[in-house]
Amino acid sequence: MSPNALVEIRDLNFTYDKRPVLQGINMTFPKGKLVAIMGLSGCGKTTLLRHIGGALKPTKGYVKMDGQVMHELDQDGLYAVRRKMGMLFQFGALFTDMSVYDNVAFQMREHTDLPEDIIHDLVIMKLNAVGLRGAQHMMPSELSGGMARRVALARTVALDPMLIMYDEPFAGLDPISLTVIGDLIRRLNDALGATSIIVTHDIQESLKIVDYVYFMAGGVIVAEGTPEELRACDTDFVHQFVHGEMDGPVPFHYPGVDYHQDLNLRARHSA
Amino acid sequence: MLNTIRAIGHHIVNAVWRIGVASRFFFLTLRYSGSSFRRFDLVIKELFSSGVMSLIIIVVAGLFVGMVLGLQGYETLKRYGSESALGVMVALGLVRELGPVMAALLFASRAGSAMTAEIGLMKATEQISAMEMMAVNPIARIVAPRFWAGVISMPLLAALFSAVGIFGGYLVGVVQIGVDEGSFWSQMQAAVDFREDIMNGIIKSLVFGTVVTVIALFEGFDAPPTAEGVSGATTRTVVTSSLAILMLDFVLTAIMFRGA
């Protein structure tokens, strides 16, 4: 493992129900960098993230986090590694029976013996970092989508993790919240000296903030590079994805029988 | 014909498999219960949700069941000239059978279904996955406190159901119909045995509390993370718990009171 890499993925294969989901994935996530994994829905991005978090075991290959092979760890070992990680779920996954304050304090109470006054100060600082100190008494049901995502972000970084994973952090956000979340992801990564992995298909927002991008399609890596390299990339798939073109290597039409045949036109014509 | 046999076989295999998974879930809950006792505030919070919030339905149902027992019991006993034994009949009926069984059925439909829906929705909204990613064991943090809250609250609710039911029987039998108050209470006191009747009733309600809570928690934890999945799991909790209570009641009654 490269000394500069926090997470290393080598020859990762994963098959679900005889269907190959990931095939021969090789990735490196250097310390302190913000790396995006992009691709269409269903291309295996979230499955890959779940392998990094140790929630799935690969069919072949491995994911190494901070020198430890994830799928070889027992439950205690896995939990020990996960304490160095934070994960922002697609829609926040805030605990709905707890206030904003208690959500952010949750990990501190579970994993540390810190006195409540210290936890209070830490929670206030984390909420201040995401601009929601004033919302500490609110319940998740009272928050907008963007606010919920920011609270979840504060909860994710509550214990200053080495690795922060984001699963579609920009999904369903208005333009202002989108910019705010993007900016926070970059700033928090740099301020904490963490390594971040963003799984997303929001090309424009993520290319503004990331250091490196992996493009996935059909369970394999089809392109990789810095944002500048990808903007200039002439691969058909990347070009279609970056420019949001309707048709290309990813067809507009889902495969099916011939259109004329489906409309019964030939049969009618010959009759 | 072959298809029918195959379908029946599939259902049986599926049912046995689910019982196995549920048993493993139960043992894991016991294994990870340590934190529930170290942080008893978590159990107290769930005691409020499942126990305290079930009080109204238990009290109202207990009162009416007791009143019906008083009326029916009086009509039956009158035929044999034994109206004075009304207190005994109401008390034994409630303490031995109706208290534990009715309270468990009500608990399954109110608190059990709520537990299933809550955990199922936590799963659907990735709250359980989030907890696992935070290195917090969801069995220890979510399931175990609810399990112990269910086990603790069930005998208390059953006792309350019986107490209120006896008061209902008193209202109808003594206050409304005019059965002698002295014989109502004194015969009850003389006939109800603490070990034989009350303790067995408590054991029954402990068993029902354990079974109902495990079914409710397992169904929630095992629910497919969709709206349809959660609603199906909630229905299964009520149906399975109700059948389990009634079947177990027969088994426990046969063991406890046969020949007594």
What is the per-residue pLDDT for A65? 92
Residue A234 reports pLDDT greater than 80: no
Say how far apart CA A83 and CA A86 lie, in whole Å.
8
Six token digits for residue A16: 């679900």
CA distance B10 to chain A (A): 20
Mean pLDDT of chain A, nearest integer? 88
Residue A269 reports pLDDT greater than 80: no
What is the per-residue pLDDT for A11? 93
Contacts of B125 in chain A (CB under 8 A): 91, 93, 96
> Considering only alpha carbons, which residue of chain B is nearest residue A91?
B125
What is the per-residue pLDDT for A179? 87
- Establish if A172 touches chain B: CB-CB under 8 angstroms: no
Q: Which residue has the tokens 């319940």?
A: A139
Q: What is the mean pLDDT of the segment spanning A103-132?
A: 93
Q: Which amino acid is present at A95?
A: F
Six token digits for residue B58: 């238990």
pTM of the model: 0.86
Three-state secondary structure string covering B128-186: HHHHHHCCCCHHHHHHHHHHHHHHHHHHHHHHHHHHHHHHHHHHHHHHHHCCCHHHHHH
CB-based contact B133 A106, cutoff 8 Å: no
Contacts of A111 in chain B (CB under 8 A): 135-136
CB-based contacts of A219, cutoff 8 Å, min separation 6: A20, A21, A22, A23, A25, A43, A44
Best mutation target among B36, B118, B121, B134 (most A Cβ atoms within 10 Å) is B134
Q: How far is CA A187 from CA A103, A169, A190, in A?
A: 21, 15, 5
- Establish if A93 touches chain B: CB-CB under 8 angstroms: yes
Q: How far is CA B113 from CA B110, B218, B219, B244, in A?
A: 6, 11, 9, 15
Best mutation target among A89, A108, A109 (most B Cβ atoms within 10 Å) is A89
> Considering only alpha carbons, which residue of chain B is nearest residue A108?
B134
CB-based contact A87 B137, cutoff 8 Å: no
Say how far apart CA B184 and CA B194 lie, in whole Å.
18
What is the per-residue pLDDT for A181? 87
- Establish if A153 touches chain B: CB-CB under 8 angstroms: no
Q: Where are the domains of chain B?
A: 2-257
CA distance B129 to chain A (A): 8
Question: What ipTM score was computed for the predicted complex, to two decimals?
Answer: 0.82
What is the per-residue pLDDT for A271? 57
CA distance A79 to chain B (A): 5
Give per-residue pLDDT as tens, A177-209: 888 888 889 988 998 899 999 998 888 888 889
Lowest mean pLDDT among A168-182, A229-243, B186-200: A229-243
Give per-residue pLDDT as tens, B203-260: 999 999 999 999 999 999 999 999 999 999 999 999 999 999 999 999 999 998 775 5
H helices of chain A, in order, are 45-52, 75-82, 100-111, 116-129, 145-156, 175-192, 203-209, 227-231, 236-243, 259-263, 265-270
CB-based contacts of B168, cutoff 8 Å, min separation 6: B62, B63, B64, B65, B66, B67, B69, B70
- Establish if B133 touches chain A: CB-CB under 8 angstroms: yes
- Establish if B75 touches chain A: CB-CB under 8 angstroms: no
Contacts of A110 in chain B (CB under 8 A): 134, 136, 141
CATH superfamily, domain A5-233, is P-loop containing nucleotide triphosphate hydrolases (3.40.50.300)
What is the per-residue pLDDT for A261? 81
- Establish if B134 touches chain A: CB-CB under 8 angstroms: yes
Neighbours of A215 (CB within 10 A): 24
> Nearest Cβ partner of A89 from B129, B135, B136?
B129
What is the per-residue pLDDT for A199? 92
CB-based contact B127 A93, cutoff 8 Å: yes
pLDDT band at A16 (very low <50, low <70, confident <90, very high): confident
**In chain A, positions 61-80, which contact chain B (CB-CB < 8 Å)?**
75, 78-80
Q: What is the mean pLDDT of the segment spanning A139-149?
A: 91
Give per-residue pLDDT as tens, B114-165: 999 999 999 999 999 999 999 999 999 999 999 999 999 999 999 999 999 9
Q: Contact A205/A168 with Cβ under 8 angstroms?
A: no
